[in-house]
Amino acid sequence: MSNTHFTGPVPGEFVPERSEDAGAPRPEPADAGAANPPYRRRPRYAGKNPRRFEDKYKEHDPGRYAETIAKVLSSGKTPAGTHRPIMVPEILEVLAPVPGETAVDCTLGYGGHAQELLARLLPGGQLLGLDADPIELPKTTARLRALGFGPETFRSHRSNFAGLPKVLAAAGLAGADVILADLGVSSMQLDEPARGFSTKHNGPLDMRMNPQSGQSAAAFLGRVRPDVLAALLTENADEPFAAVLAPVLAGHAYATTGELAAAIRAVLPRLDKDAQDLSVRRVFQALRIAVNDEFSALDMFLRYLPACLNPGGRVAILTFHSGEERRVTKAFDAGRREGVYAEIAQDALRAAPIERRDNPRSTSARLRWARKADVL
Ligand SMILES: C[S@@+](CC[C@H](N)C(=O)[O-])C[C@H]1O[C@@H](n2cnc3c(N)ncnc32)[C@H](O)[C@@H]1O
């Protein structure tokens, strides 16, 4: 997988995993000192594991370094530059894709769910993958092509899922038998400091899924009114300190994620570090939702959804916080009452304990599903 921010060793270049003599002086060449060469500082040993995202060259090329990737996965971490699909068995069970059907993955991301769906749609079926992100989409398209999914079975389209009806029409599809939406951001987006989503690594305060349109989080914060910010910190992330944070943060176009995180901590000096970190995460989440207009996109998607499903079609939506969950539940309940959906999930499904242990990002996931009535 290519990485435009790559500054580490050349992929493929041998770098020892473990150096027994790390830190030991290197033997001088036999003629050292003969001609009094200028003093050159010995390069410092870089360490066993690259720490910075851009140095994790093996993880940016998972196909080539399968063993390293397997090790990272077994330690309960997600390798940088990849994304682990959440609740795959549960999603496959509720969506029940069969050969010959048409599926739409509205949030293609790394293509983990898409890959599993495609395997069950063939022969004869097809999957259309949408994503708002123009940086990751071509990489994922190339990855799925390399797995053997040609244009007759898999097509991708850079689009917001709010425009699903138009995308379906442009693709010549009357509707889909299976629709999946796995909301929020991918691990690739979160882990890449340059995208500005990360609370852990410093980077420009951007947070746009599509950095080619709309305004960055920095620009948004610079312009937003304190009362509006307070309301959205509450609405988008249930931030309990919204009222004290908003007047300080609003009107400041913090250049970096680090500056914003430091400003949030400075407003809450009496909280311990863990509590401060939680507030940092919630403020980042609230800003991300605002900058990407995520709730409007979800509302629009939920409104158009029944018209995009074929009779008997199934939809599954993975949500990650209460704002998303409320909207999905309300829309499915209303659709069930009106007879649009023949069946809906009674309760949200959760990731199995083993998945929650292995992939902490699955802990907050809630899966809801609906099946459209056969005849309306
Ligand atoms: C959690 S990831 C999906 C991961 C994917 N299921 C996989 O298995 O790799 C969410 C993806 O949805 C995209 N996304 C979020 N909101 C979107 C929207 N309104 N329209 C289109 N794509 C969106 C993000 O850019 C991100 O790539």
Tens of pLDDT, residues 271-281: 999 999 999 99
The residue whose C-alpha atom lies closest to atom 4 belonging to ligand 1 is 109
C-alpha–C-alpha distance, residues 319 and 294, integer Å: 12
C-alpha–C-alpha distance, residues 94 and 163, integer Å: 24
- CATH code for the domain of 101: 3.40.50.150
In a domain, 109, yes or no: yes
User: Closest by alpha carbon to 257, among 322, 208, 199, 174?
Assistant: 199
Strand pairing category for 102-105 and 341-344: unpaired
Q: Which atom of ligand 1 is nearest to the CA of 188?
A: 27
CA of 145 to the centre of ligand 1 (A): 19
| pLDDT score of 149 more than 70 | yes
The residue whose C-alpha atom lies closest to atom 10 belonging to ligand 1 is 185
| pLDDT score of 35 more than 90 | no
Q: Which atom of ligand 1 is nearest to the CA of 186?
A: 2
Shared domain check, 179 and 321: yes
Shared domain check, 177 and 107: yes
Shared domain check, 317 and 280: no
Q: Which atom of ligand 1 is nearest to the CA of 113?
A: 8
Tell me, what's the pLDDT at 281?
96
Strand pairing category for 126-131 and 154-158: parallel
> Which protein residues touch ligand 1 with a CB less than 6 Å away?
83, 85, 107, 109-113, 130-133, 136, 160-162, 182, 184-186, 209, 297
Tell me, what's the pLDDT at 39?
63
CA of 46 to the centre of ligand 1 (A): 35
Q: What is the mean pLDDT of residues 116-129?
A: 98
- For the chain, the first-to-last Cα distance in angstroms comes to 46
User: Closest by alpha carbon to 179, among 58, 334, 341, 1?
Assistant: 341
Shared domain check, 181 and 319: yes
Q: What is the pTM of this model?
A: 0.82
Where residue 199 falls among pLDDT bands split at 50, 70, 90?
Answer: confident
In a domain, 70, yes or no: no
Shared domain check, 181 and 106: yes
Tell me, what's the pLDDT at 34?
36
Where residue 28 falls among pLDDT bands split at 50, 70, 90?
Answer: very low
In a domain, 360, yes or no: yes
| pLDDT score of 192 more than 80 | yes
Burial of residue 76 (CB within 10 Å: 0-12, 13-18, 19+) is exposed
> In the numeric block, which tokens belong to residue 362?
């699955």
In a domain, 265, yes or no: yes
C-alpha–C-alpha distance, residues 16 and 192, integer Å: 25
Distances 134 to 16, 62, 174, 175 between C-alpha atoms, Å: 35, 21, 26, 25
Tell me, what's the pLDDT at 56?
59
As a whole-number percent, the residues of the chain with pLDDT over 90 amount to: 76
Number of independent structural domains in the chain: 2
Tell me, what's the pLDDT at 43?
53
Shared domain check, 180 and 93: yes
Which of 257, 291, 325 is the C-terminal boundary of a domain?
Answer: 291
Shared domain check, 317 and 276: no
Q: What is the mean pLDDT of residues 261-267?
A: 98
In a domain, 26, yes or no: no
Q: What is the mean pLDDT of residues 312-333?
A: 97
Type of residue at 11:
P
In a domain, 262, yes or no: yes
Supply the mean pLDDT for the chain.
86
Shared domain check, 256 and 121: no
- Which of 48-62, 108-122, 273-287, 318-332 has the least mean pLDDT? 48-62
In a domain, 120, yes or no: yes
CA of 121 to the centre of ligand 1 (A): 21
The residue whose C-alpha atom lies closest to atom 24 belonging to ligand 1 is 185
Q: What is the mean pLDDT of residues 13-37?
A: 31
Distance of CA 271 to the CA centre of its chain: 29
Tell me, what's the pLDDT at 1?
29
List the beta strands (DSSP E) in the chain: 102-105, 126-131, 154-158, 176-182, 309-319, 341-344, 366-372
Where residue 27 falls among pLDDT bands split at 50, 70, 90?
Answer: very low
Domain that holds residue 121: 88-187+311-372
Tell me, what's the pLDDT at 341?
98
Tell me, what's the pLDDT at 82?
80
| pLDDT score of 13 more than 70 | no
pLDDT digits (tens, 9 = 90+) for 213-232: 999 999 999 999 999 999 99
Where residue 81 falls among pLDDT bands split at 50, 70, 90?
Answer: confident
- Residue owning tokens 């980042």: 284
DSSP helix/strand/coil, 268: coil
The residue whose C-alpha atom lies closest to atom 3 belonging to ligand 1 is 109
Maximal CA-CA distance, the chain: 92
In a domain, 18, yes or no: no
Shared domain check, 179 and 103: yes
